[in-house]
Amino acid sequence: MSRSSFPNKIDQFIELFDLPANKVADALEMQKLKAKSTLDNNEQNRLSALQAELQDYTITPETMNKLQDAIVEIEKFFDGNVRQYILSKQKEWDTYVNDFTCVGNWDSTKKYQKQNLVSYNGNLWLCIKDIVSSAGKTPDKLPDNWRQVSYKGDKGDIGLNATYKGEWSGSIQYKAGDAVSVRSDLPWKPVDMVFIAKKDNEGQKPTVGAASDYWFPYHNLVYGTYDFIDTNTPMHPDVTYIKELREL
């Protein structure tokens, strides 16, 4: 039979302390009495008194057995209740997660289950309640059944992972992301300026002096010797030009 009261109630244990110096003699006396094989009535009464007096300083087999029983009861409770609860919740969670299934583009002829994900008008929608679709039951019109979980962002500019096509030519049809170099001869020597196509185009030459709907500079910092200010030459609005000063 278990000495532990758990899980019906929390076990209570006596708080133990180190044996103080003034109790050492009593402890030694108790040890001698416990070492005897037989005790008369006076010795038995004395032993009982010493045990009561020293209980706050003594670890007994009963104390250890109760502690061990408490540990076992905790283990049994965890294994039979906590572990099983965790496993059941894990199974429930696995089912819940597995139901998050992307089923492709929204289809007016399909039945959708809760937690299905569909793409509609470029956005991602989550089904929050089972529904049988029809032409008039699009996700954007049924807030009780669908929740939008992502939005289509604005189209960004072409990045710098461009394909270099050499010096610009009016006879080449360029694709978005193509890169070309443009040299304006004098006074823009000896620097070529590189541009990247924003969109497909042909015959739309990028220029050093003006912005374009079709091209943007590969780099917004340009270094050279030409003096744009003194010659009143226009400079691309997205470019910072650094002029090299040379002594005559």
Between the alpha carbon of residue 59 and those of residues 54, 65, 79, the distances in Å are 10, 10, 29
pLDDT of residue 210: 80
Our CA dihedral for 85, 88, 90, 94, rounded to 10 degrees, sits at -160
Q: Supply the pLDDT for residue 220.
A: 72
So what's the pLDDT on residue 157?
55
In this prediction, residues 185-204 reach a mean pLDDT of: 75
Which pLDDT value is given to residue 190? 46
HEC per residue, the chain:
CCCCCCCCCCCCCCCCCCCCHHHHHHHHHHHHHHHCCCCCHHHHHHHHHHHHHCHHHCCCHHHHHHHHHHHHHHHHHHHHHHHHHHHHHHHHHHHHHHCCEEEEECCCCCEECCCEEEEECCEEEEECCCEECCCCCCHHHCCCCEEEEECCCCCCCCCCCCEEEEECCCCCEECCCEEEEECCCCCCCCCCEEEEECCCEECCCCCCCCCCCCEEECCCEEEECCCHHHHCCCCCCCCEEEECCCCC
Taking residues 17-34, report their average pLDDT.
96
Predicted pLDDT of residue 64: 94
What region does 232 belong to: left with phi over 0, alpha with psi -120 to 50, or beta?
left
Q: Is the pLDDT of residue 72 over 90?
A: yes
Residue 128: count other Cβ atoms within 10 Å of its Cβ: 15
**Angle at the Cα of 219 from the Cα atoms of 218 and 222, rounded to 5 degrees:** 130
Work out the average pLDDT over 154-176: 78
| Residue of higher predicted confidence among 208 and 245 | 208
The residue-averaged pLDDT of 127-138 equals 91
For 210-244, the pLDDT digits (tens) are 888 898 888 776 666 656 655 566 777 777 766 65
Per-residue pLDDT, averaged over 116-121, amounts to 92
What pLDDT band is residue 174 in, cutting at 50, 70 and 90?
very high
pTM for the full model?
Answer: 0.39
Q: Single out the residue of 223, 171, 163 nearest to residue 195, CA to CA.
A: 163
- What pLDDT score does 144 carry? 93
CA dist., res. 116 & res. 124, Å (int): 10
Mean pLDDT value across residues 71-89: 92
**Domains along the chain?**
21-94 (no CATH), 101-150 (2.10.10.20), 163-243 (2.10.10)
Kindly tell me if the per-residue pLDDT of 52 is higher than 60.
yes
Confidence category of residue 159, pLDDT binned at 50, 70, 90? low
In whole angstroms, give the CA distance from residue 73 to residue 14: 19
